[in-house]
Amino acid sequence: MSSEDIIIEKLFEQRDMNLSMLKNLDFELLMDPTEKEIEKIQELQKNTIEELKKIEQEIAFLTAKKS
């Protein structure tokens, strides 16, 4: 396995963790949070989505580079 393959695998792991975090944050919104908690959750969701976009761009770049 090349170093690029290892990097891609790690990026997929990070992506999966972020997707899991988004599911957990969605669940927290169902638990009748306070307004302040809602704001924090929404900020975390926004940041996590931005991170996911970066990870997916990096995965796309590395897989296109391999081809």
Q: Taking the domains of the chain in order of start, what are their residue ranges?
A: 3-66
pTM of the model: 0.88
**Dihedral (C-alpha) 30, 32, 38, 40: value to the nearest 10 degrees?**
-90
10-25 mean pLDDT = 98
2-13 mean pLDDT = 94
pLDDT in tens, 18-60: 999 999 999 999 999 999 999 999 999 999 999 999 999 999 9
Per-residue burial over 16-48, b = 16 or more CB atoms within 10 Å of its CB, e = otherwise: eebeebeeebeebeeeeeeeeeeeebeeebeeb
Residue 66 has pLDDT above 90, yes or no: no
Helices (H), the chain: 3-29, 35-66
